Amino acid sequence: MTNPEKIYVGLDDNSYDVLVGSDLISRAGNFIAPLLRRKRIVIVTDDNVGGLYLNPLSAALTSNGVSVEAITLPAGEQTKSFSQLEQLCDNLVELKVERNDLIVALGGGVIGDITGFAASILRRGCRFVQIPTTLLAQVDSSVGGKTAINVRGGKNLIGAFHQPVLVLADTDVLASLPPRELRAGYAEVVKYGLLGDATFFEWLEENGPALLSGDPVLMSHAVQRSITAKSRIVEADEKETGQRALLNLGHTFGHAFEAEMGYSQKLLHGEAVALGMVMAFDYSVTKGLCNADHAVRVKTHLEDVGLPVTPYEIDGFNASAAELMTHIWQDKKVSAGKLTFILAREIGEAFIANDVDADHIENFLETALQA
Ligand code: NAD
Ligand code: GLY
């Protein structure tokens, strides 16, 4: 078995390794056991991922002398709720999880976000490990310490920064991911090219379709490159006081559509990000900031791999620009009543635009909805 690639996230006392490679779940005991203060672990997973990977992970840990208990939550975005958080915390307390024990999040971004948040508040902060099982979670949500749940007013509005102590990104598990989920995660991969690495975007234009068809070498390269890009940004700005906001490229538009669709299966998070990135480039073109050729390339690539690039591709979408604006005003980047968007000068050069005119955005959305 080959050694995994190691990407170090340097955050002083909160530093950790992200390991990327094959067969990591079957070797998880070797990586996790040295971090334990006592040989006991609680795994949190969902009912899809649990059926596939809980037994292999438990076996890998018990073979290293670690006792394992598991909590299985329902799969899906609705799980990122106060009621599920309360139940999860109650279960962790009943299992007498101590502050220095390790909780393992085994699943996609939903499980990583709610488990990380529970770990951040349980006994004022417990250690946790991320074992991300979706492409989106491997390249984005498992790294960087953002944890959250959703409330009626919007997505990820209740949360905390809480870094994991280790991330194990086993790229083999992506083979069981439904193709639509794989594509949705791919949107976050494309994001890294668009925001800061034009060469990577060119590589994706060439290799994206083969990667999505299951080529493990291409997939592994894309995962490593994405995690490296994210790690460098997080190291420079852990709490998002500046440049980390670039990782929100496409998210302000995207979240508005996601909220409008009730965070349902009608529009997955990564799909919303794909549409949002197209809009961010189109808006940049309308403001004379970016050459139209770049926006066309973005749209063409995302469309080629089967991601939504226009609102009318969203099943059942029927909202006005004004309705979308109510969601946009709930964005976490709103400050002193001003909107902030991530816009682009070209592919590979995104920037943070503060004080964006809300009327311009609403007019832009009106035009986009008529197209
Ligand atoms: P998800 O966790 O809901 O997983 C998608 C689906 O795939 C689920 O049904 C899950 O059970 C299933 N699944 C997961 N791994 C599988 C596998 N290997 N094989 C088969 N099925 C599998 O969704 P997601 O796209 O991973 O994450 C979306 C969430 O991540 C959103 O809530 C979003 O807000 C959050 N997010 C957080 C951050 C962050 O920085 N914390 C960043 C981006 C997104
Ligand atoms: N997914 C955006 C961030 O981690 O900042």
All structural domains of the chain: 5-176 (3.40.50.1970), 179-370 (1.20.1090.10)
Output the pLDDT for position 334. 83
The finding on whether 170 has its CB within 6 A of some atom of ligand 2 is no
Amino acid identity of residue 182, one-letter, is: L
Confidence label for 155 from pLDDT (cuts 50, 70 and 90): confident
Output the pLDDT for position 337. 79
pTM check: above 0.95: yes
Instruction: Give 65 Cα–ligand 2 centroid separation in angstroms.
Output: 35
Instruction: Give 369 Cα–ligand 2 centroid separation in angstroms.
Output: 27
Ligand 2: which atom is nearest the Cα of residue 188?
1
Pocket of ligand 1 (CB under 6 A): 46, 48-49, 52, 75-77, 80, 107-111, 113, 133-134, 136-137, 140-141, 144, 146, 155-156, 173, 176-177, 181, 184, 269-270
**Chain segment 12-46, per-residue pLDDT in tens:** 999 999 999 999 999 999 999 999 999 999 999 99
Residues 250-277 have a mean pLDDT of: 94
- Separation of alpha carbons 63 and 170, rounded Å: 19
Residues 6+ apart with CB under 8 A from 357: 339
> Contact, 168 vs 341, CB < 8 A?
no
The finding on whether 75 has its CB within 6 A of some atom of ligand 2 is no
Instruction: Give 39 Cα–ligand 1 centroid separation in angstroms.
Output: 28
Is the confidence at residue 278, as pLDDT, over 80?
Answer: yes
**Chain segment 312-343, per-residue pLDDT in tens:** 999 999 999 999 999 999 888 888 878 999 99
Is the confidence at residue 153, as pLDDT, over 80?
Answer: no
Provide, rounded to the nearest whole percent, the portion of the chain with pLDDT above 90.
93
Residues 172-198 have a mean pLDDT of: 98
First-to-final CA distance of the chain: 52
Instruction: Give 196 Cα–ligand 2 centroid separation in angstroms.
Output: 14
**Chain segment 58-115, per-residue pLDDT in tens:** 999 999 999 999 999 999 999 999 999 999 999 999 999 999 999 999 999 999 999 9
Instruction: Give 168 Cα–ligand 2 centroid separation in angstroms.
Output: 18
Burial class (CB in 10 A: 0-12, 13-18, 19+), 241: exposed
Ligand 1 atom 42: residue of nearest CA: 141
Tokens coding 235: 């190291």
Confidence label for 213 from pLDDT (cuts 50, 70 and 90): very high
Mean of pLDDT over the chain: 96
Ligand 1: which atom is nearest the Cα of residue 173?
18
The residue among 47, 90, 347 whose CA lies nearest residue 199 is 347
Output the pLDDT for position 331. 82
The finding on whether 333 has its CB within 6 A of some atom of ligand 2 is no
What's the order of all strands across the beta sheet hosting 166-170?
5-9, 16-21, 166-170, 127-132, 102-107, 40-46, 67-73
The finding on whether 247 has its CB within 6 A of some atom of ligand 2 is yes
Backbone angles phi, psi at 221, to 5 degrees: -60, -45
Tokens coding 174: 């992506």
Of 247, 273, 332, the one to substitute when testing ligand 2's pocket (max ligand atoms within 8 A of C-beta) is 247
Handedness of CA 326, 108, 234, 183 (dihedral sign): negative
Provide, rounded to the nearest whole percent, the portion of the chain with pLDDT above 70.
100
- Separation of alpha carbons 260 and 10, rounded Å: 37
The finding on whether 244 has its CB within 6 A of some atom of ligand 2 is yes
**Chain segment 294-316, per-residue pLDDT in tens:** 999 999 999 999 999 999 999 99
Residues 273-282 have a mean pLDDT of: 98
Least confident of 190-204, 206-220, 329-343: 329-343
The residue among 114, 110, 112 whose CA lies nearest residue 122 is 114
- Separation of alpha carbons 185 and 187, rounded Å: 5
- Separation of alpha carbons 266 and 318, rounded Å: 12
Which residue(s) pair with 352 in the sheet? 342
Find how far residue 359's CA is from the centre of its chain.
30
> Contact, 205 vs 301, CB < 8 A?
yes
